[in-house]
Amino acid sequence: MGKKILEVKELTTKYITRFGEDVYAVDHVSLAIEEGKSLGIAGESGCGKSTLALSLMGYYFPPLHYTSGDIIVDGKNISTMKPDAIRKSVLGTEIAYIPQAAMNALNPTQKIIRFIEDVVRVHHPKMPKKEIYDSARKRFEELGLPASVLEKHAVELSGGMKQRTVIAISTILSPKVLIADEPSSALDVTSQKMVIKMLRNLMDKGYIKSMIFITHELPLLYNVTDDIMVMYAGQIVEKGTAKEMVFEPVHPYSQGLMGSIIVPEAGTRDVKLTAIPGTPPNLKKPPSGCRFAERCKYVTNECRAISVGLKEFGDDRSYRCIMDVDKLREGYKHE
């Protein structure tokens, strides 16, 4: 086993709304990523992917609150660090986060090099502009971006170029973990491919040591990440290698996610199945039993009554369901 770059144990966080209600968006999530590896997180809208991404940085501000659990980055536990310490010694260097729709949030009146100066100066307040510019130019060129982008404003860049620029800015300090939240979702297919190529390039060149890639599309992760976790209603419902998760999903929810999208790969189904019927539960009042119960075709009264933890099987895989793995697999084959 390689060195663990990120280890998360039983992380639980919640929103407290202005009406004082709790929204349990991240519930006892555990994960680990080794050096040089990438993890994909998939799940439909509202299942807690972005909240998990935010929570992983250990940087909490209302309405998001930390409840319990550990976040260990390269051996250092950051879960109980104060926000100021997180900002100074974690963000950008240990963990970099590219928020969902980050490219649309870039201040249009500022030159790209200024964003880079802002990021670098948090950690190197005295570094001369020329030095920052030279290293940014070198990094941009190595990542296949023209150095002329540095002198441009965000409005002058196309969507794909803007997204790749955001990624280059966020990783300028070579963070150990990069968390990219839906980095390719709003882009056309060509730009998507370029974004994914760039993320791979960052990893191959050692500018990032590990990556978390978030998307609502499970099959997209097959070509991007080593491992995949599927999230449902704030919980992990299944984990495995990308190949296992795409070709042999076990949890009825992962099976539904997989089955609802066409994948033009040998061995996968070529018919477009209907999306999973129903909607996720309200996270203000999550059900006490299985959170997927009301949408599951195998549901029994026992499912509604008992909350099952993740069960391990095979070679480092796990799933959260009362049913036996073989029965679930059998059911998928005959779907």
CA-CA distance, 309 to 159, in Å (whole number)? 41
CA-CA distance, 83 to 112, in Å (whole number)? 26
Q: CA angle, 44 as apex, 42 and 47 as ends, to 5°? A: 85
- Residue 12 or residue 100: which is nearer to Mg ion going by CB? 100
- Residue 93 or residue 100: which is nearer to Mg ion going by CB? 100
Rg (CA), the chain: 21
Q: CB of 165: closest distance to ligand ATP in angstroms?
A: 22
Interface with ligand ATP: number of residues (CB under 6 A):
16
| 221 interface partner picked from Mg ion, ligand ATP, none, CB below 5 to 8 A per type | none
The stretch among 43-51, 118-126, 261-269, 300-308 that binds ligand ATP (CB under 6 A) is 43-51
The 8 Å CB, 24+ separation contacts for 189-195 are 190/160, 191/158, 191/159, 191/160, 191/163, 192/160, 194/144, 194/160, 194/164, 195/160, 195/163, 195/164, 195/167
- Residue 143 or residue 163: which is nearer to ligand ATP going by CB? 163
User: What x-and-dash track marks residues 39-68 binding Mg ion by CB under 5 A?
Assistant: ----------xx------------------
Q: CB of 177: closest distance to Mg ion in angstroms?
A: 18
Under rule CB under 6 A, which residues in 88-107 are in contact with ligand ATP?
100
| 247 interface partner picked from Mg ion, ligand ATP, none, CB below 5 to 8 A per type | none
> Which one of 1, 45, 82, 190 is in contact with ligand ATP (CB under 6 A)?
45
Q: Are 98 and 198 in contact (CB under 8 A)?
A: no
Q: Are 179 and 171 in contact (CB under 8 A)?
A: no
- Residue 45 or residue 80: which is nearer to ligand ATP going by CB? 45
Q: CB of 190: closest distance to ligand ATP in angstroms?
A: 23
Q: CA angle, 140 as apex, 139 and 142 as ends, to 5°? A: 65
Under rule CB under 6 A, which residues in 146-185 are in contact with ligand ATP?
none
> Which one of 6, 11, 31, 47 is in contact with ligand ATP (CB under 6 A)?
47
Task: Based on the shown chain and the rule CB under 6 A, indicate whether residue 43 belongs to the binding site for ligand ATP.
Answer: yes
User: Which is nearest to 201 in space by CA: 159, 140, 249, 258?
Assistant: 140
Task: Based on the shown chain and the rule CB under 6 A, indicate whether residue 251 belongs to the binding site for ligand ATP.
Answer: no
What phi, psi does 242 have (nearest 5°)? -55, -45
Q: Are 198 and 165 in contact (CB under 8 A)?
A: no
Q: Work out the angle between the directed axes of helices 159-170 and 189-204 (0-180°, nearest 10).
A: 20
> Which one of 5, 31, 38, 50 is in contact with ligand ATP (CB under 6 A)?
50
Number of H helices and E strands in the chain, helices first, is: 11, 12
Interface with Mg ion: number of residues (CB under 5 A):
3
CA-CA distance, 11 to 66, in Å (whole number)? 8
Q: CB of 275: closest distance to ligand ATP in angstroms?
A: 14
Under rule CB under 6 A, which residues in 260-289 are in contact with ligand ATP?
283
Task: Based on the shown chain and the rule CB under 6 A, indicate whether residue 60 belongs to the binding site for ligand ATP.
Answer: no
Residues that bind ligand ATP (CB under 6 A): 15, 17, 23, 25, 43, 45-51, 63, 100, 216, 283
Residues that bind Mg ion (CB under 5 A): 49-50, 100
